[in-house]
Amino acid sequence: MGQVINFPKDKMKTPPQSKKELDAELLNTKVAYIEDVAHHYGSSIFNKLAMHGFNVDSEDFIKDYAYVIESLKSCLLNNVGVTHPIQKTVEKDVAKYCGVDVTSEYLSEEMTEQEQKIQDKLQDEIEEDKLI
Q: What is the pLDDT of residues 58-105, one digit of tens each?
A: 999 999 999 999 999 999 999 999 989 888 887 788 878 777 666 666
Cβ 82 vs Cβ 24: under 8 Å: no
Confidence of residue 107 (pLDDT cuts 50, 70, 90): low
Provide mean pLDDT across the span 14-26.
84
pLDDT, tens digit, 9 for 90 and up, residues 37-49: 999 999 999 999 9
Q: Say how far apart CA 34 and CA 78 lie, in whole Å.
A: 10
Cβ 73 vs Cβ 90: under 8 Å: no
pLDDT score of 115 more than 60: yes
Cβ 74 vs Cβ 84: under 8 Å: yes
- For 123-127, which contacts have Cβ atoms below 8 Å and span 24 or more sequence positions? none
For position 109, what pLDDT does the model report? 56
Percent over 70 (pLDDT), the chain: 82
